[in-house]
Amino acid sequence: MSKEVIITDKIVVACNGDDLKGSNHPKVWLKIKETEKFIDCPYCERRFSYQPSKV
Ligand SMILES: [Zn+2]
C-alpha cells in the first residue's frame, strides 16, 4: 500500500493518525521545514506535503 500524502498550505500541521485504519495515535504537531516542503509523521508515517495556496 502506498504512503498516504496529505496536501496542506500550512507550515504547522496536527496529526492524530487515522481511526479507520487503526493507526491513530496521540495528537502531535509537526512543523514542515520550508527547505524540505514536507514532513513525515513519526507515528503513522503519513506525509504532509506543503503547497502554499497563494500564487
Ligand atoms: Zn500521524
The answer to whether residues 46 and 15 touch, using CB atoms and an 8 Å cutoff, is yes
**What secondary structure letter does DSSP report for 15?**
E
- What's the pLDDT score for residue 55? 67
Q: How far is the CA of 54 from the centre of ligand 1 (A)?
A: 26
The answer to whether residues 5 and 45 touch, using CB atoms and an 8 Å cutoff, is no
Q: How far is the CA of 29 from the centre of ligand 1 (A)?
A: 9
Q: How far is the CA of 51 from the centre of ligand 1 (A)?
A: 19
CATH of domain 5-50: 2.60.260.40
Sketch the domain layout of the chain as residue ranges: 5-50
Tens digit of each residue's pLDDT (9 = 90 or more) over 8-36: 999 999 999 988 888 799 999 999 998 99
Q: How far is the CA of 16 from the centre of ligand 1 (A)?
A: 5
What global pTM score does this model have? 0.82
Confidence of residue 42 (pLDDT cuts 50, 70, 90): very high
The answer to whether residues 3 and 41 touch, using CB atoms and an 8 Å cutoff, is no
- What's the pLDDT score for residue 1? 54
The answer to whether residues 7 and 49 touch, using CB atoms and an 8 Å cutoff, is yes
- What's the pLDDT score for residue 28? 97
Would you tell me how many other CB atoms lie within 10 Å of the CB of residue 45?
Answer: 11
